[in-house]
Amino acid sequence: MTEHIDSAKTYVWVFAALIGLTVLTTAVSFVDLGNFSVVAALAIAVAKMLLVALFFMHVRRSTQLTRLVLVGALVWLGILLAMTLTDFATRGTGGMAGGVAESAGGLLH
Partner 1 sequence: MAGHPQTETLALREQFNTEAQQKDAATLGMWIFLITEIMFFGGLFLAYTVYRRWYADTFAVASSSLNVYLGAANTVVLLCSSLTMVLAVRAAQLGKRRALVMFLILTLVLGGVFLGVKAYEWNQKFVEHHIPGPNFHFEGAAQQGPAQLFFSLYFAMTGLHALHMVIGAGLLLMLIVQAGRGRYTAAYMTPVDVVGLYWHFVDIIWIFLFPLLYLIDRHLGR
Query: Min. distance of Cβ 36 from partner 1 in angstroms?
Result: 11
Residue 54 binds partner 1 (CB under 8 A): no
Using rule CB under 8 A, residue 80 touches partner 1 = yes
70 binds partner 1 (CB under 8 A): yes
By CB under 8 A, residue 1 contacts partner 1: yes
Please say whether the dihedral angle defined by the alpha carbons of residues 8, 9, 12 and 17, taken in this order, is positive or negative: negative
- Figure out which of the listed residues 60, 73, 75, 98 binds partner 1, where binding follows CB under 8 A: 73
Q: Does 96 bind partner 1 (CB under 8 A)?
A: no
